[in-house]
Structure 1
Amino acid sequence: MKTLMAIEAKAYAKERSLPCPMTAFRQQRASAARRGIGWKMSFDEWWMIWRDWYHMRGRGKNQLCMARQGDVGPYASDNVYLTTCLGNQLDVDRSYAKGPRKRMTDDERIARQQKKDRWGGQWKGNDRASHMAYKSHCRGIEDEAESRSWPELRPE
Structure 2
Amino acid sequence: MSKIKSDLKIQKFKSRFLVISIFFILTTSISWFLTYNTDHFLTAVKVSSFGLVIWIMFEFDLLKESKVYLMLFTLSLVLAIIGYYLLEEKGADIWIRSTKASLCYLIIYKVLRYFYILIYKREPKLEKSGGLMADRMFSFILVAGSVFTTMSI
Scaled by the length of structure 2, what TM-score is found? Answer: 0.24
Write 1 or 2 for the structure with the bigger share of helix: 2
Larger Rg: 1 or 2?
A: 1
With CA pairs under 8 Å and 6+ residues apart, which has the higher RCO, 1 or 2? Answer: 2
Scaled by the length of structure 1, what TM-score is found? Answer: 0.24
Write 1 or 2 for the structure with the bigger share of strand: 1
